[in-house]
């Protein structure tokens, strides 16, 4: 399951006003003075108060705890984040973080292999885990009274996982099969993997696949997994987030009972503050595949984030990405989709990353259109943005639609745990998540123009095409 970030919330925000309008009753309210607030006005109000109102504290062993109370339903989400993901894999051993995630389900000192998941399932709950480039997280969603159960089980896994040697090879086969299903059998996944390696380099922390290169997965040893656990899975490098129908006093008591006894120990902090490559490993990547029916275009440039480079520029790039490729009304939609050159076009940028981020432009070519023609039209749209800068209407539209995503953030179960835990685990302060609508509203036209010119006009970048096979 992918982590929920502000970016995934923003992606659905543009559709919110239309969805709310469609759902609104057609009749006039009996009291016209009491009208429902528009999404725009509601988003403005949210910009001045915290989204979740989270409480935070730190246990004596260094574990940070976050609590968000919501008593709408008698359910709790319990997440344990570690500040280490695929980006922390040792050189020549890509996939270690993901492999360890699998092995953490093989039992712990007081919990037999498989017993954690079985206990959660018997209570009608859900449990799983995920590894991203920045974090690894383990979570359970259960009925509120079962919070002590999952805290006991997860804290035991935290303190003393077994990582049994006799399960290493069977689990390696599971992971290799996962790679075959998700990557090797998908032309687009293989292309994306090659594209990332072309921009960053195949052994750069950002250029290695999270699941790992196949030869390196085969080379991972149990000692590699134990080293990663010892170096990264320390209380001071972890964040516990509990959200839902649980009072703060109860969460504090349970955290003291189950998590405080986990021994404190030194850990190896992530090191991603170095400069990214001065030039891409490959400036252009073209792949053809017989299984591809629609040609895809992609261009990615190295960009700052909230943890690397100019953070103000990172906020501005979020607004630039929406103005340039945020659905209908965006520049790429007008230049490529409305002109019949592409069936879809967009931009992707995530400021919440550990280390340097990427600003990505993408498009799907309309059948019958020459790739060169569409790429030239995209280049022209980008050039005009860099030359003239965005307009005030574009800035206002982008901020309005993006901050409307705050409404969605408040409504989704598990959203608070993922957004808060993911941000804190990479060193982003909790205030950044709580007040991100305000930060977006503070972005100026001048900042947008400067950020676009710095990244789209001069940063290292790679351009790629995934094309169908040429007819014989």
Q: Residue 23 is encoded by which pair of tokens?
A: 């759902």
User: Which pLDDT score is estimated for 2?
Assistant: 46
**102-146 per-position pLDDT tens digit:** 999 999 999 999 999 999 999 999 999 999 999 999 999 999 999
Higher pLDDT, 5 or 109: 109
DSSP code at position 278: S
- Residue for token pair 């902090």: 269
For the chain, give every domain's residue range. Answer: 55-258, 284-468
Contact between residue 150 and residue 78 where contact means Cβ atoms under 8 Å apart:
yes
Average pLDDT over residues 299-310: 97
**314-329 per-position pLDDT tens digit:** 999 999 999 999 999 9
User: Which pLDDT score is estimated for 23?
Assistant: 37
Spatial separation of the C-alpha atoms in residues 304 and 310, rounded to whole Å: 6
Average pLDDT over residues 286-302: 97
Of the candidates 138, 90, 120, 156, the one whose C-alpha atom is nearest the C-alpha of residue 239 is 138
In the chain, the N- to C-terminal Cα span, in Å, equals 41
46 pLDDT band, cuts 50/70/90, is low
User: Which pLDDT score is estimated for 349?
Assistant: 97
**408-421 per-position pLDDT tens digit:** 667 777 889 999 99
Architecture of domain 55-258: 2-Layer Sandwich (3.30)
Spatial separation of the C-alpha atoms in residues 459 and 320, rounded to whole Å: 15
Average pLDDT over residues 461-471: 93
| Domains 55-258 and 284-468 equal at CATH topology level | yes
Average pLDDT over residues 281-295: 96
In the predicted structure, residue 48 carries a pLDDT above the cut 80: no
| Fold of the domain spanning 284-468 | Cytochrome Bc1 Complex; Chain A, domain 1 (3.30.830)
Query: Model pTM?
Result: 0.90
Higher pLDDT, 41 or 282: 282
Higher pLDDT, 382 or 277: 382
In the predicted structure, residue 250 carries a pLDDT above the cut 90: yes
In the predicted structure, residue 25 carries a pLDDT above the cut 50: no
User: Phi and psi (nearest 5°) for 82?
Assistant: -115, 135
User: Which pLDDT score is estimated for 244?
Assistant: 96
Q: Which residues are catalytic?
A: 101
Least-confidence region, from 93-102, 301-310, 371-380, 412-421: 412-421
41 pLDDT band, cuts 50/70/90, is low
């Amino acid at each position: 399951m992918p982590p929920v970030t502000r970016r995934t919330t923003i992606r659905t925000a543009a559709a919110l006003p239309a969805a709310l309008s469609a759902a609104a009753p057609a009749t006039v309210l009996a009291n016209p003075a009491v009208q429902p607030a528009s999404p725009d006005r509601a988003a403005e109000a949210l910009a001045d108060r915290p989204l979740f109102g989270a409480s935070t504290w730190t246990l004596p062993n260094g574990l940070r705890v976050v609590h968000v109370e919501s008593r709408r339903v008698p359910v709790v989400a319990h997440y344990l984040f570690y500040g280490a993901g695929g980006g922390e894999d040792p050189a020549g051993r890509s996939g270690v973080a993901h492999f360890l995630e699998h092995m953490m389900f093989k039992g712990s000192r007081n919990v037999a292999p498989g017993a954690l998941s079985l206990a959660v399932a018997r209570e009608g709950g859900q449990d799983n885990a995920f590894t991203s480039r920045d974090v690894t997280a383990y979570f359970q969603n259960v009925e509120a009274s079962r919070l002590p159960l999952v805290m006991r089980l997860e804290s035991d896994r935290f303190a003393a996982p077994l990582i049994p040697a006799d399960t290493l090879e069977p689990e390696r086969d599971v992971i290799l099969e996962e790679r075959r299903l998700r990557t090797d059998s998908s032309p687009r996944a293989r292309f994306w993997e090659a594209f990332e390696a072309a921009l960053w380099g195949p052994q750069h922390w950002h250029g290695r696949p999270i699941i790992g290169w196949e030869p390196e997965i085969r080379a991972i040893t149990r000692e590699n997994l134990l080293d990663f656990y010892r170096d990264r899975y320390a209380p001071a490098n972890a964040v516990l987030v509990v959200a839902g129908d649980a009072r703060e006093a109860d969460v504090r008591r349970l955290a003291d009972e189950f998590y405080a006894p986990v021994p404190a120990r030194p850990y190896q902090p992530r090191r991603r503050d170095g400069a990214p490559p001065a030039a891409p490993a490959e400036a252009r990547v073209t792949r053809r595949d017989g299984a591809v029916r629609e040609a895809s275009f992609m261009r990615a440039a190295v960009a700052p984030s909230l943890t690397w480079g100019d953070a103000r520029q990172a906020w501005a790039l979020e607004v630039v990405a929406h103005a340039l490729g945020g659905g209908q009304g965006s520049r790429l939609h007008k230049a490529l989709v409305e002109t019949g050159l592409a069936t879809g076009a967009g931009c992707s940028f995530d400021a919440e990353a550990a280390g340097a981020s990427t600003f990505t432009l993408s498009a799907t070519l309309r059948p019958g259109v020459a790739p060169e023609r569409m790429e030239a039209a995209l280049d022209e749209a980008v050039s005009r943005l860099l030359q003239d800068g965005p307009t005030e209407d574009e800035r206002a539209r982008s901020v309005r639609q993006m901050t409307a995503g705050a409404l969605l953030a408040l409504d989704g179960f598990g959203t608070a745990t993922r957004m808060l835990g993911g941000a804190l685990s990479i060193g982003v302060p909790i205030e950044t998540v709580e007040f991100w609508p305000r930060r977006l509203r503070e972005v100026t036209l001048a900042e947008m123009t400067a950020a676009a010119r710095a990244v789209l006009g001069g940063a290292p970048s790679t351009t790629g095409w995934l094309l169908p096979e040429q007819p014989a």
